[in-house]
Structure 1
Amino acid sequence: MIKVSILYPYRENGHFDVDYYCVTHMPLAAKLFGPSLKGWSVDVGINAGPPGTPPPYVAAGHFLFDSADDFYKVFKPASEQLVADIPNYTDGGNGTILISEIKISV
């Protein structure tokens, strides 16, 4: 199983609409990805460890697929629509994509 994470860096005075991202953008992605998508979640940054420090990322969206090939097959046809939606929730750009292999899940 692989996880595709889109990491949105924290920026002082940056805009990120978590509600829009969670309620509109991520469900849109899930719909476009179809049954190849095995699950999704959103993390919202709180801090960098010590209380009162800004988080390194304001948010991260995560998608689960059986393989990277499964992700690539559904992302390419959906990418234009998903990228066009980015300005509706952030002024910070596309975010950074990390594709990782899940080794242990409890």
Structure 2
Amino acid sequence: MKFKLILLFLLLNICFVAFSQDKQSEKSQKQDITVTEKGLIKVSIMYPYAEGKTFNMEYYETKHMPMVAGFLGSNLVKYTIEKGLSSGIPNQPLPFMAIGTFYIKSLSEYQAAIAPNRDAIRADFVNYTNVSPVILVSEVIK
């Protein structure tokens, strides 16, 4: 009887460990899916740093980017906002004050959504910056 209880206990532990590893594997796979954007289109809006130029990060984060994201609808996977801190080379000027990035499924859908709203988007620039952005459209490879 004691042997059967020990055997049962060992079997339960083995099942528990196997179940835990399966759950960790599933969790890891889900994280890989959220981290990997392979095949998505990435629209980077970069605001170059220059002496005398300004950027209101709070407005950009709470008003401008959500407004543009709203225009993109279900084509938008996610968006990010980055605040420039320094150059990658010591003692060199900051290359960009900020970068806003949209990850989208379809470039043609993006263009169709932005085109009728272009004037509203541009008119909002004065509310947060006096910089003309540089825009790069790219495909995420990895």
Give the TM-score normalised by structure 1. Answer: 0.89
Instruction: After superposition, give the CA deviation of every residue in 1:34-83 in whole Å (9 maximum; x if it has no partner).
Output: 11111111111111124554320000110011121121111111211111
Higher share of residues assigned helix: 2
Aligned-pair Cα RMSD in Å: 1.3
1:57 counterpart letter in structure 2:
F
SS at match of 1:27: helix
Q: Which residue of 1 aligns with 2:116?
A: 77
User: Can you give the 5+ residue segments of structure 1 that lack an aligned partner in the other structure?
Assistant: none
Cα drift, residue 33 of structure 1: 1.5
Higher share of residues assigned strand: 1
Quote the Cα distance in structure 2 between the aligned partners of 1:26 and 1:92.
16
1:41 pairs, out of 80, 83, 90, with 80
Larger radius of gyration: 2
SS at match of 2:111: helix
Confirm or deny: 8 A CA contact 1:3 1:99 kept in the other structure. yes
SS at match of 2:74: helix
1:88 pairs, out of 112, 123, 127, with 127
Q: Which residue of 2 aligns with 1:99?
A: 137
Quote the Cα distance in structure 2 between the aligned partners of 1:13 and 1:43.
20
Q: Which residue of 1 aligns with 2:42?
A: 3
Quote the Cα distance in structure 2 between the aligned partners of 1:92 and 1:66.
28
- Identity of matched residues, %: 36
Task: State the 4+ residue runs in structure 1 displaced beyond 2 angstroms.
Answer: 50-54
Quote the Cα distance in structure 2 between the aligned partners of 1:6 and 1:58.
11
Give the TM-score normalised by structure 2. Answer: 0.68
